[in-house]
Amino acid sequence: MPAFTEKFISQLEGQRGHFQAVFSSDVCSPLEERLAGRVAANWHKLPDELSAVSCRPSAFYAIDGSEATRNFSNASWLLVCQGLLLGPDTEVPSLELRLVPGNVPGAVVDSYCSRLMRWLELRLALDHIGRLGGQTLVLDGSLYSMLPHLLYPLEALHGQLGCSDDADLPIRVLEAYLDLFEACRKQDILLLGISKTTQDRVLTHTLLHLPDDVDRISVDMAEHFEMLPDSRLPPDAEALQRWTERSPGWSTPVLLGLYSFGRFRETLLSEPSRIAESFAACSRYSRGQLENIVERLQRAPAVATFHVRFADGDDCIRVDVPAYTLGCSDTLLDLSSGLGPLEPAEPILRLLQACYGGPTVYNAPLYAVDRQVRLSNDVVDGPFLSILRSVVAPDIRYNRSARRFL
């Protein structure tokens, strides 16, 4: 056998200092020194576990999805997305199937699949919103992260057989998000988006750049900070692992407005009609309907996000809620990012503590729905592929790279 282990050890020895720095709490630069103190100061003890019983009485409903892509020998792509709404006396499955021609770029296929998956999950929530009044709805994943990526069409799908109607899928997903925010607010539904992992830098960016005498970073301030070098700003997950002693606790909520909107920030503020125009040629919606969706986005609530570690040494989860849940009236356009209040988040923390079952079961409702909705390779490459062959053509097969693993 080739001596790869020896090569690995040699490479690791040569990079020992770098590896240790990333996993150590030691600060390595003035930037890290400033940030470490601020992260520690914005890490708080969890509410007393005994008080978890006093949290808002609520039934939990959870929605999760799972997706699979397969590339056939003729270069076309199969997309399978399935979602599940699970709650008391409730089990509602849904599935979307697409065949994408092989001349659609792979990066577009990936974007298409992620947006189709989110659309499926949001539709599950909206189609059954009537049974959720006064309860808690948990979605898997962030409520914020996809929003900036819903302002441009999937142009490569336009005119493609079988998926041309989905070229405007991003703005339909955006509309579904806005509908869900409004419906949850109107029906007193506590809406939570929970991410088990994150690569974002919303907390570290905000804590590093926030002036001492204010609690908001304005849009103008954010544009100035973007001109500054920011390459060594660690992601939130790294900072929280290094500078909180890996102790149980939670971070000060960060309010997210136009933080991640990049080149669309100025467009939303001064030329929102350009976004509607970009969808006009490929959407089933009228120009007026498209402009209405963009106008609703301008009025949409900011999103508050915080991180929680329930047990010593455990990984953090990220929790997103509409900002109005914490009593904040900020809209997306009001700020880039900022810090939110602590006290209104405590009832949410108590609910989450009651749902914590250990490092694997970080949220019991999501854990339960994940186990039922997960799309395994055995299902995709077994029954689904067999059904496809029986209905379409018996000689359908994956491309050579995929076949070698079956």
Containing structural domain, residue 307: 44-375
197: confidence class by pLDDT, cuts 50, 70, 90: confident
**pLDDT for position 311:** 95
Q: Is residue 140 exposed (0-12), middle (13-18) or buried (19+ Cβ within 10 Å)?
A: buried
**pLDDT surpasses 90 at 396:** yes
Contact 61, 137 (CB under 8 A): yes
Is 168 contained in some domain? yes
pLDDT at res. 228:
63
Is the CB of residue 169 less than 8 Å from the CB of residue 111? Answer: no
Q: Is the pLDDT of residue 54 over 60?
A: no
Tell me: pLDDT of 97 over 70. yes
127: in domain: yes
**310 located within any domain:** yes
Tokens of 143: 């409520």
In a domain, 1, yes or no: no
196: in domain: yes
Identify whether 4 is part of a domain. Answer: no
pTM score above 0.75: yes
Res 175 pLDDT > 50: yes
Query: How many independent structural domains does the chain possess?
Result: 1
The 10 Å CB-count burial string (b at 16+, else e) for 293-307 is bbebbeebbbbbbbb
Question: What's the mean pLDDT when you consider all of the chain?
Answer: 93
Q: Is residue 101 part of a domain?
A: yes
What amino acid is encoded at 215 in this protein?
D
The answer to whether residue 213 scores a pLDDT higher than 90 is no
The whole-number average pLDDT for the span 367-372 is 96
Tell me which residue of 133, 99, 112, 131 sits closest to 384, measured CA to CA.
99
Q: Does some domain include residue 385?
A: no
pLDDT of residue 53: 47
- Strand blocks (E) in 168-242: 190-195, 216-217
Extract the runs of DSSP E, i.e. beta strands, from 42-129.
Answer: 43-44, 60-71, 77-87, 90-100
